[in-house]
Amino acid sequence: MITWKNLSRKKVFSGESTTGVVAQGPAAAEHVLRRSLGTLDLTSLGVAAIIGAGIFSTIGNAAAAGGPAIVFLFLFTAVACGFSALCYAEFASAIPVAGSAYTYAYASFGELVAWIIGWDLIVEYAIGNIAVAISWSQYFTSLLASYGIFFPQFLTIDMMSASKGYQQISSLLAQGQSLAEITASGLHTQGLRFYELWLQAPRIGGVPLVCDLPALLITVLITAIVFVGIEESRRTSNFLVAIKLAAVALVIIVGASYVSPANWQPFAPHGISGVLQGVSGVFFAYIGFDALSTTAEECRDPQRDLPRGMLYALLICTVLYILVALVLTGMVPYYKLGVGDPLSYVFGPEGANLPWLEGVINVSAVVALATVLLVFQTGQPRIWMVMSRDGLLPPIFARIHPRFKTPWFATLVTGVVVAIPTLFMSLTEVTDLSSIGTLFAFSLVSGGLLKLEMDGTKLNSRFKITYINAKYIFPLLLLACLLGVLYLNPQALVNFFSLVDPQHPEAGLGYVLGEKIPLSLYLGLMLGLAVLCFRNNLSLVPVLALSSCTYLMTELGTTNWLRFGLWLLVGMAIYFLYGHKHSRLGEEQSRSSLARS
């Protein structure tokens, strides 16, 4: 079996078709995907992935923290993603193989780093989709309720949240408080709701039947669509994206007439620190454009269409996000936007009071989140498929359905991995985990281009990033940024070396050092990168992509770094127990096959 990982670097970077090699041999039918995607389809898939939970949910909390100045964070994040998208585009044009960042990391860093990034992408795709499915369930049940259709509440909440609420109220009752007193205090409204659900839910073997059934059902439906073929996924995505864009355009046009410029004052009420509080939510809004690269083997002309689809989708979504942010903060005071459904809120009684448009937005949110599920459920199986071809996962993950031409087993496993946890898991902080995982992938792709550049390896790509020598530009930009921070916040240098957090003076030394470690590592990385730029005349765009993405990672907090580190440790254990051994066997078998041929 000839796979991507066993191609010689000479073949890879001379531009010979890797997909063609994969398709050859006696098992060709098991590895060939159907090519049916063009630029419009890829742009649609990109918009489907990007316009989702970010614009319908996380944008509210980000605006409440940063005020109208959140538009600058959207712009900065879009620029960071834009630099990364250019790096993805050059790789995708040179290496038109499914696998996304995993494939590109394999080409530039080798097997171990490729495995790490492949394992990391599960955080972005599969685990991130668990949160999307749960969010979809909440919007869907709210939509039904607005039309007088009420889903049984014990089937709309996850068991983890219900159990936690039950234990909380039970503890208060054990302390001698009555339910009436707890209710009158108004401090445990959600806990009381979960407590009542836990008691009222039917039981199976003494265990309450509490689960998020709508989240399970939408995951099953989307998985079925992805299973039967890319053509069906393309049609569904294009249709749903058209509805979604029409709704967002309606929000912008109608909402603009209700904007009061007074609400934009002050523009940055909490300064830079307030704006940066929304990094995770804003970046989560942009997660998805990289999913296009997982469809490389299903594109009619991947070298041309993948770069165009990525960049078009990113440009369209950036414009829409900025316009929506300006409309939202202009319609109501920014501090009122810290809700889970900000678009619906501003057209409700507290805002423009347009019930018909509020209903349209609820329908659009259901559609938007379904399209995000569709794109990520399409991307994850294809990453596993390529990893399986390389021997890092069992061979069955690379099997292609003879009729539907999709990686059927990997698709089913992805469906199970997402569907089952939605029944009982509460992933309130999964946004941060997904964001840090995606930024890590973006950083490695950007760093991969720089490594190939330092190795003297040329990518034979139809899409080329314009070379701008970073030798002097990046060190000067880095110096300008440091001086700018000190000018705008003279206390920053003192705070950095202080062992006491001025905002949390009660915090211990461990907390303070923990918060400073990511920034310290980042500054060290940037100094090293500046030296490399000066010595090796590196290309500016990948350098800016790497520096901006790693900076955004520092804003996600030490807790998320620890969780991400634990996830990677689990992945390393799997690699050394299975992937490393079978990968070597696969390479030896391939060499034997080549020698015989």
Q: How far apart are CA 476 and CA 474, in angstroms?
A: 5
pLDDT tens digits for range 481-529: 888 877 776 766 666 666 556 555 555 555 555 567 778 888 899 999 9
The reported pLDDT for the residue numbered 284 is 67
439/373 same-domain check: yes
Residue 69 lies in a domain: yes
Q: Per residue in 116-130, is it b (16+ CB within 10 Å) or e — as a string?
A: bbbbbbbbbbbbbbb
Q: How far apart are CA 475 and CA 167, in angstroms?
A: 55
Q: How confident is the model at residue 268 (pLDDT cuts 50, 70, 90)?
A: confident
37: β partners:
299
135/236 same-domain check: yes
Q: Give yes or no for a contact between 260 and 52, defined as CB atoms under 8 angstroms apart.
A: no
495/582 same-domain check: yes
Nearest to 90 by CA among 387, 301, 293: 293
Question: Three-state secondary structure along 161-230?
Answer: HHHHHHHHHHHHHHCCCCHHHHHHHCCCHHHHHHHHHHHHCCEECCEECCCEHHHHHHHHHHHHHHHHCH
Q: Count CB atoms within 10 A of the CB of residue 8.
A: 10
Is residue 226 over pLDDT 50? Answer: yes
More confident residue, 48 or 281: 48
324/431 same-domain check: yes
For a pLDDT cut of 70, what percent of the chain falls above it?
Answer: 83
Q: Give yes or no for a contact between 158 and 422, defined as CB atoms under 8 angstroms apart.
A: yes
Residue 495 lies in a domain: yes
- DSSP H or E stretch at residue 53: helix 53-53
Q: Which two tokens stand for residue 20?
A: 């063609």
- Average pLDDT on 201-217 reads 86
572/499 same-domain check: yes
Quickly list DSSP for 373-394. Answer: HHHHHHHHHHHHHHHHHTTSS-
111/166 same-domain check: no
Query: Which of 385, 417, 447 finishes a domain?
Result: 447
Query: Which residues neighbour 295 within 8 Å (Cβ) at sequence distance 6 or greater?
Result: 37, 42, 45, 98, 230, 378, 379, 382
Q: What ranges in 390-429 are assigned the alpha helix state H?
A: 408-424
Q: Are strands 207-208 and 203-204 parallel, antiparallel or unpaired?
A: antiparallel
Is residue 76 over pLDDT 90? Answer: no
CB-count exposure of residue 234 (10 Å: 0-12, 13-18, 19+):
buried
Predicted TM-score (pTM) of this structure = 0.76
501: β partners:
504
Q: How far apart are CA 501 and CA 512, in angstroms?
A: 6
Q: Give yes or no for a contact between 384 and 410, defined as CB atoms under 8 angstroms apart.
A: yes
More confident residue, 357 or 495: 357
CB-count exposure of residue 156 (10 Å: 0-12, 13-18, 19+):
buried
Residue 514 lies in a domain: yes
pLDDT tens digits for range 413-457: 988 988 888 877 765 556 667 778 888 888 998 999 999 999 888
Q: Cα dist. 391→13, 40, 384, 597 in Å?
A: 22, 34, 10, 21
Residue 460 lies in a domain: no
310/172 same-domain check: no
Nearest to 128 by CA among 342, 291, 297, 344: 291
pLDDT tens digits for range 240-255: 788 888 888 888 999 9
- Average pLDDT on 136-153 reads 81
Q: Which two tokens stand for residue 534?
A: 């000066």
pLDDT tens digits for range 297-315: 778 888 788 888 888 888 8
Domain residue limits at 529? 467-596
Q: What ranges in 341-354 are assigned the alpha helix state H?
A: 342-346
Please report, as a single letter, which amino acid is at residue 578.
Y
Q: Count CB atoms within 10 A of the CB of residue 14.
A: 12
Q: How far apart are CA 2 and CA 21, in angstroms?
A: 7
Q: Give yes or no for a contact between 246 and 41, defined as CB atoms under 8 angstroms apart.
A: no
Q: What are phi and psi of 299, to 5 degrees?
A: -90, 145
Query: Which of 412, 447, 482 finishes a domain?
Result: 447
Distance of CA 293 to the CA centre of its chain: 14
Nearest to 554 by CA among 590, 524, 529, 579: 524
115/71 same-domain check: yes
200/247 same-domain check: no
Q: Per residue in 537-575, is it b (16+ CB within 10 Å) or e — as a string?
A: ebbbbbbbbbbbbbbbbbbbbbebbebbeebbeebbeeb
Please report, as a single letter, which amino acid is at residue 425.
M
The three-state secondary structure class of 539 is strand
State how many domains the chain has: 3
CB-count exposure of residue 531 (10 Å: 0-12, 13-18, 19+):
exposed
The three-state secondary structure class of 277 is coil
In the chain, how long is the greatest CA-to-CA distance?
81
- Average pLDDT on 220-236 reads 80
Q: What are phi and psi of 37, to 5 degrees?
A: -100, 135
Q: Give yes or no for a contact between 425 and 127, defined as CB atoms under 8 angstroms apart.
A: no
User: In which residue are the tokens 């294009």 written?
Assistant: 238
- Average pLDDT on 82-92 reads 86
Query: Which of 392, 412, 447 finishes a domain?
Result: 447
Q: Count CB atoms within 10 A of the CB of residue 584.
A: 12
pLDDT tens digits for range 5-25: 444 333 344 333 333 333 334
The three-state secondary structure class of 203 is strand
Q: Distance from first CA to last CA of the chain, Å, rounded?
A: 12
- Average pLDDT on 350-362 reads 81
124/245 same-domain check: yes
Residue 154 lies in a domain: no
Residue 93 lies in a domain: yes
471/515 same-domain check: yes
> Domain containing 443 — which CATH number?
1.20.1740.10
Is residue 178 over pLDDT 80? Answer: yes
Residue 284 lies in a domain: yes
372/252 same-domain check: yes
Q: How confident is the model at residue 138 (pLDDT cuts 50, 70, 90)?
A: confident
Please report, as a single letter, which amino acid is at residue 461.
S
